[in-house]
Structure 1
Amino acid sequence: MATPLQPIIIVRKKKRGGHAHHGGAWKVAYADFVTAMMAFFMVMWLVATMPQEQLGGIADYFKNPSAVEGQSSSMAPGRAGPGGAGEAPIRMFEHARKPTDATPIRTPGAPQAAAAGAGAAQKAADETDRRNLEALKRALEEAVASSQALAPFKDQLLIDITPEGLRIQIVDAHNRPMFDLGSPTLKDYTRTILHELAAYFERVENRVAISGHTDTTPYAGRTGYSNWELSTERANAARRALVAGGLSEDKLSRVVGLSSSVPFDRTDPDNPVNRRISIVVLSNAAERSAAKVDYGK
């Protein structure tokens, strides 16, 4: 018997090539990175060496660089209207060359630079003013602790720094009121306190604001006369005492009566401490703020 034929099995093996070469793509990416870093350090060098007015001009240019009208919904600043170009050319390397004439280069950033300089000067002046008021506060506290005229009233003299400036409040006590009952007439010791304080207020250039306060007890005197009139007359009496003690008239900013509208003790409107004279040595910032409100400057 013949042996059956076995099937022939053919195995085809696929030839695999070697790993493909990565090519030069990484070199391009690396070159881009190096170029970007060079540009970055160039910009940093320019920023570090360029005058402030030139930097202001560059900033304005990049806020509004286009020379044609854009499609933005918001209008860009500049004389050329929406999307308009800057108002002066940018000369980035002009500071590295000597100008051909004495005429300064006008840049859009000049007003901003001037404003920034003025702002820095104002900030420095305000800081000096704050230090002067703090020094005056320490001097007053030392005087209250050691002065024969002020020490007996240390519990009635409240001294603190507020957003308006240095505030000194002279408050009533149960057994030691500042004024005669229901009257704007100063007690002798109150007049002495104000005379002592006037000498300290003359040490600084700041102006002074005075306000009079009462408690909520209705005035029981003549008809038509209320705590508003009483508080105003008491503030004016304090003003006269300060002037008599040496305070210049031109250093007075305002004298007002506030009745019981600004109580010291809000929990007890009849508390004697609500009857007080408040004197504020105004900070420069408070004076500027008041001028804007009163005169729109």
Structure 2
Amino acid sequence: MADRSNAPIIIKRKKKVVGGGHHGGAWKVAYADFVTAMMAFFLLMWLLNATTEQQRKGLADYFSPTISVNRISGGGDGLFGGTNTMEDDSQVQEGTGLNGGTPFEGDPTAALREAAEVALLEEVEAQLLGIGGESLIQQEALRHVITRLTDEGLVIEVFAREGAPLFLNNGTAPAPMLIELSEVFARVFALVTNPVAIEGHTRSAPIVFANYPVWDISTGRSVAVRDLLTTNGLNPDRLARLTGHGDRDLAHADALSVRNDRIEITLLKTEAVEN
């Protein structure tokens, strides 16, 4: 028998695989798609919350087709489903596009124009209140101002506070704070060409002042604000109306509250003026 003491010893080791092993990076692609979809979803939610109903309608109308599209497009009763080749108006009567079927509600161009007008009014509001930056109004005076966008336009409400009236001695002479605000308003109103409406409001008077002329005072305050705006550069032709409401349109349930002493200046939408 041959001597095998010097023969090499060979050891075979088997590698045991635990689990499924490496499957590549497909999961990364799927995860990236998921994150992108979620980001798009939240962006859509934000856009729906940040736009008005009129703006959304304007955008929807903008992307609506303006070319007649119909299932029955004329030309015989065969493959294409028309009634016959001699009816020139079959597309208008039976189509589902611009000229047939359900018509579009409103003028898309008008909707876009209104959306652009609202955007300009929002820019004016941002300039006044300092949305996204510093306000043009001093902080103390800014406590007297609130704004809101309505169907009629941008309403800028300036109201009195305890110890800080808009008019001196409960009359029609503007206080320094209102004079300062009017200068800012006139400067910012130059950003747009919208007509302007001014409305004066007063609080009720106690019984001891039963002859307190609330109508004359509220109207006089509107006139005073008009004079301040035009003196600071507002074109008088932009004035659409001056109104005195007396003490009949209260902002606070307590008719004697100083909060009811206020002026409302509205940058009117063009549509509101035309109607």
Class of the TM-score when normalised by the shorter of the 2 chains: 0.5 to 0.7
Q: Could you tell me how far 1:261 is from its partner in structure 2?
A: 1.3
Q: Could you tell me how far 1:271 is from its partner in structure 2?
A: 1.4
User: Which residue is equivalent to 1:68?
Assistant: none
Q: Could you tell me how far 1:89 is from its partner in structure 2?
A: 5.8
- Given the alignment, which residue of 171, 181, 185 partners 2:173? 185
User: Which residue is equivalent to 2:30?
Assistant: none
Equivalent positions of 1:188-207 (< 5 A) are 188-207=176-195
User: Which residue is equivalent to 1:52?
Assistant: 68
Structure 2 SS opposite 1:285? helix
User: Which residue is equivalent to 2:127?
Assistant: 139
Q: Could you tell me how far 1:182 is from its partner in structure 2?
A: 2.9
Tell me which structure has the larger Cα radius of gyration. 1
- Given the alignment, which residue of 176, 182, 192 partners 2:164? 176
Equivalent positions of 1:57-206 (< 5 A) are 90-92=89-91, 119-142=107-130, 145-147=134-136, 150-206=138-194
Equivalent positions of 1:3-42 (< 5 A) are none
State the distance in 2 between where 1:50 and 1:226 align. Answer: 58
Percent sequence identity over aligned pairs: 23
User: Which residue is equivalent to 1:284?
Assistant: 270
Structure-2 change in CA distance of 1:245 and 1:50 (3 Å): closer
State the distance in 2 between where 1:161 and 1:287 align. Answer: 15
State the distance in 2 between where 1:249 and 1:190 align. Answer: 19
Normalised by the size of structure 1, how large is the TM-score? 0.56
Q: Could you tell me how far 1:150 is from its partner in structure 2?
A: 2.8
RMSD: 3.6
Normalised by the size of structure 2, how large is the TM-score? 0.60
Segment drifting more, 138-147 vs 197-206 = 138-147
State the distance in 2 between where 1:127 and 1:50 align. Answer: 19
User: Which residue is equivalent to 1:242?
Assistant: 229
State the distance in 2 between where 1:211 and 1:201 align. Answer: 17
Could you give the per-residue CA deviations for residues 117-137 of structure 1, whole angstroms, max 9, x where no partner exists?
A: 971111111111111111111
Q: Could you tell me how far 1:161 is from its partner in structure 2?
A: 1.5
2:194 counterpart letter in structure 1? N
State the distance in 2 between where 1:219 and 1:241 align. Answer: 32
